[in-house]
Amino acid sequence: AQRVTQPEKLLSVFKGAPVELKCNYSYSGSPELFWYVQYSRQRLQLLLRHISRESIKGFTADLNKGETSFHLKKPFAQEEDSAMYYCALRTRLAFGKGNQVVVIP
């Protein structure tokens, strides 16, 4: 079975402060992991995926197979980062419950 855990439901951070969203997964095979984001009144969209090893909008995420984690990080939060963030696993995406991020100006 595949499972994704995002422990914090709501995260409030001040503008300019670092952001870290935690994601832990459970999967017996080789994991493919993603972060999806949903801005207010917009549809769900891909933020980044582990295979690309890229930084999108200042966000990065590193797959740690030993800790079965794929935490999302950004060194300096911006107001436009306020959104729902979902960690997801594999093709038939197993989503976590999501993190509501509120950036306080």
Please give the residue ranges that form the binding site for another protein (CB under 8 A). 4, 6, 32, 34, 43-46, 49, 51, 86, 88, 90-98
Query: Which one, 24 or 32, has the nearer CB to another protein?
Result: 32
Which residues does residue 105 pair with via DSSP β-bridges, in sequence order?
none
The least CB distance from residue 20 to another protein, in Å, is: 19
Name every residue whose Cβ is closer than 8 Å to that of residue 101 and which is 6 or more positions away in sequence: 11, 12, 13, 19, 21, 77, 81, 82, 83, 84, 85
Whose Cβ is closer to another protein: residue 17's or residue 45's?
45
